[in-house]
Structure 1
Amino acid sequence: MANFSTHITVAAAGAGLLSVLCLQVGLVEPREALMLALLGTIGGILPDIDLQHAYPSRIMFSLFAIIAAFMVVFSNQNNLSIVELWGVGLITFGLIRFPIWTVFHEYTTHRGSIHSLVAAVLFMFLTAAFAFHVMGESPFIAWLFGLFVFLGFVLHLVLDELYSVDFMNHRIKRSFGTALKILDWKKREKSTALVVATIIAWAVVPDSHAFWDTLLSADTYRIIGARLLP
């Protein structure tokens, strides 16, 4: 499998290139382009969130905890004192970073259900729903955020699969086929729970008509073609 440095470098490069494309085509504003680059990079390390003693898991849960803490603080800023806001923020961070992190790893195994295409779809739905309902983004931007997380996630799976092939010695390693998969069919209960969670997340995503109309429009690709080269 590819190491953390490879994953984050490739994901950042790919997300950066695509975010510049979206900016130049006029799909997003500069602030949104920066968010796309960040989300694509995060998606590129998300599949390793179930590595309990690895950097990706600690980084991701710390990031989630920080974001959640700020969201809680900002939503209560007019109702609580400064000290109370500090306390609420610290408690929120602590709960996510430590007990929730510990419980999560009690029920996950690396390259299991999280390392699958269904998990990629789940995180895409969750990102789109969060961007729309919490961040107040438009449905189109919310889905674009979700798409970048999905693409970064899938890029991670593809890299791991490529690293399972030893091209120099013309052999396939034993890990081949464990990274890029639809579901972990060996862990039926966990995979079922993942599918159920994905369906629930799908129920709260914003309307996607504008997103798909733009993504599948011939005009979009004509503009890309016109702006692609000098």
Structure 2
Amino acid sequence: MANFNTHITVAAAGAGLLSVLCLQVGLVAPREALILALMGTIGGILPDVDLEHAYPSRIMFALFGIIAAFLVIFSVENDLAIVELWLIGLITFALIRWPIWMIFHQYTHHRGSIHSVVAGALFMFLTVIFSHHVMGKNPFISWLNGFFIFSGFILHLVLDELYSVDFMNSRIKRSFGTALKFWDTKNRPKATALLCLTLVVWAITPESAAFWDTLLSKQTYQIINARMFP
């Protein structure tokens, strides 16, 4: 298994290169390109969110706690005192960072259901929904944000599989096949529940026609080819 530094470095590099491509092709503005790079980097450490006491898990739940705290603060009544708003934010953050984090790890294990393509799709759809309904982005940008999360996620799984092969001694380690998988075949009830949740979340995502038309358009790749080299 690749370590945290490897995952975040490769994810940041890959997301950075891909975001520059999107910027140069004219799909996004500079500010949106920076967000895409951040999304890809986050996606690159998401599969390890179920690794208790590890950096990715603590970082991700702290990030979720901060985002949730701001959402709660900005959704409550404006007539509350500053101290009350601070207290609400701190309580929200603390609940997600510790109790929910502990409960999450009681029902998950590393390289289980979270370490699968289905989980990557779930995180992508959740990102699309958050980007569209909370951040106010249009459907195309929202799906692009989700795509970068998914790309970073899959890159993480591929890296872990590559680290399961000892190319020098031409042998495969016992961990081979546990990283890049569609779903967790060792725990079918959890895997089935995750798949059902993914389908439900997908059903409430905004329309994706513009995103797929751009991604699959021949003209898009003609522009990329024209701008790729000096």
TM range (shorter): over 0.9
Q: Can you list the C-alpha shifts for 1:134-160, whole angstroms capped at 9, x where unaligned? A: 111000000000000000000000000
Matched residues, percent identical?
74
Instruction: Compute the TM-score of the two structures, normalised by the length of structure 1.
Output: 0.98
Task: Map 1:190-205; keep pairs closer than 5 Å.
Answer: 190-205=190-205
Number of the residue aligned with 1:34: 34
Q: Can you list the C-alpha shifts for 1:96-142, whole angstroms capped at 9, x where unaligned? A: 10111000000000000000000010100000011011111000000
Number of the residue aligned with 1:184: 184
Q: Can you list the C-alpha shifts for 1:27-56, whole angstroms capped at 9, x where unaligned? A: 111111111000100000000000011111
Q: Deviation of residue 77 (structure 1)? A: 6.5
In structure 1, what is the Cα distance between the partners aligned to 2:77 and 2:40?
30
Mean alpha-carbon deviation: is it higher for 87-96 or for 172-181?
Answer: 87-96
Number of the residue aligned with 1:162: 162
For the structure 1 residues 79 and 212, does the alpha-carbon distance in structure 2 shift closer, same or farther, using more than 3 Å as the test?
A: farther
Number of the residue aligned with 2:7: 7
Number of the residue aligned with 2:126: 126
For the structure 1 residues 79 and 25, does the alpha-carbon distance in structure 2 shift closer, same or farther, using more than 3 Å as the test?
A: farther
In structure 2, what is the Cα distance between the partners aligned to 1:103 and 1:79?
34
State the secondary structure of the residue aligned to 2:64.
helix
Number of the residue aligned with 1:22: 22
- Kindly provide the amino acid, as one letter, of the partner of residue 97 in structure 1: R
In structure 2, what is the Cα distance between the partners aligned to 1:101 and 1:79?
32
**Which stretches in structure 1 are left out of the alignment for 5+ residues?**
none
Number of the residue aligned with 2:48: 48
In structure 2, what is the Cα distance between the partners aligned to 1:111 and 1:133?
31
In structure 2, what is the Cα distance between the partners aligned to 1:34 and 1:202?
25
In structure 2, what is the Cα distance between the partners aligned to 1:3 and 1:66?
25
Deviation beyond 6 Å, 4+ runs, structure 1: none
- Kindly provide the amino acid, as one letter, of the partner of residue 140 in structure 2: F
Q: Deviation of residue 78 (structure 1)? A: 2.8
CA RMSD of aligned residues (A): 0.9
**Which stretches in structure 2 are left out of the alignment for 5+ residues?**
none
Number of the residue aligned with 1:69: 69
